């Protein structure tokens, strides 16, 4: 049997066997951050962001339009890197990215899943606050 076929059969049989609750939470958190970042991009832009503009293009736009050292950008990068490990390596270790995610948000890491949720809420709040700041700047220009 060819190696690729063995690999295919392995992933068919075991592709979901090792996925954890935290894996699902990281994936969901990354989706929530992408949506919030798109809302931020909509606020920053003078014209509506096209629907077909992918999340990486939106991320690049926000990164270009905001300060490089914003903790939320660093945290979002590490969260995305963790999600990519889950999505593409299946059984990869993303602990270091989560550690850097918490560090960027200046919160202490614990093993408690509720704490991860709280850190994501902190991050979404930071994105919301940045969006409000841009909204206020736009109003002051008018």
* 44-65: pLDDT as tens digits: 998 889 989 999 999 999 999 9
Q: Is the pLDDT higher at 138 or at 36? A: 36
13 lies in a domain?
Answer: no
118 lies in a domain?
Answer: yes
Q: Is 83 exposed, middle or buried (0-12, 13-18, 19+ CB in 10 A)?
A: buried
Q: Residue 43 is part of which domain span?
A: 20-141
3 lies in a domain?
Answer: no
Domain count for the chain, please give it: 1
pLDDT number for residue 110: 80
7 lies in a domain?
Answer: no
12 lies in a domain?
Answer: no
Please tell me the distance from the alpha carbon of residue 101 to that of residue 97, in angstroms, as a whole number: 6
67 lies in a domain?
Answer: yes
1 lies in a domain?
Answer: no
Please tell me the distance from the alpha carbon of residue 117 to that of residue 107, in angstroms, as a whole number: 12
**How far, CA to CA in Å, does 113 sit from each of 26, 95, 110?**
10, 13, 8
pLDDT number for residue 92: 81
pLDDT number for residue 128: 96
15 lies in a domain?
Answer: no
């Amino acid at each position: 049997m060819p190696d690729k076929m063995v690999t295919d059969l392995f992933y068919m049989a075991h592709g979901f066997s090792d996925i954890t609750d935290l894996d699902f939470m990281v994936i969901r958190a990354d989706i929530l951050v992408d949506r919030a970042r798109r809302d931020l991009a909509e606020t920053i832009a003078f014209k509506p962001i096209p629907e077909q503009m992918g999340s990486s293009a939106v991320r690049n736009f926000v990164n270009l339009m905001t300060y490089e050292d914003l903790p939320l950008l660093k945290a979002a990068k590490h969260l995305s890197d963790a999600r990519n490990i889950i999505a593409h390596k299946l059984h990869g270790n993303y602990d270091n990215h989560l550690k850097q995610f918490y560090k960027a948000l200046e919160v202490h890491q614990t093993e408690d899943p509720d704490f991860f949720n709280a850190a994501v809420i902190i991050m979404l709040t930071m994105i919301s606050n940045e969006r409000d700041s841009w909204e206020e700047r736009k109003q002051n220009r008018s």
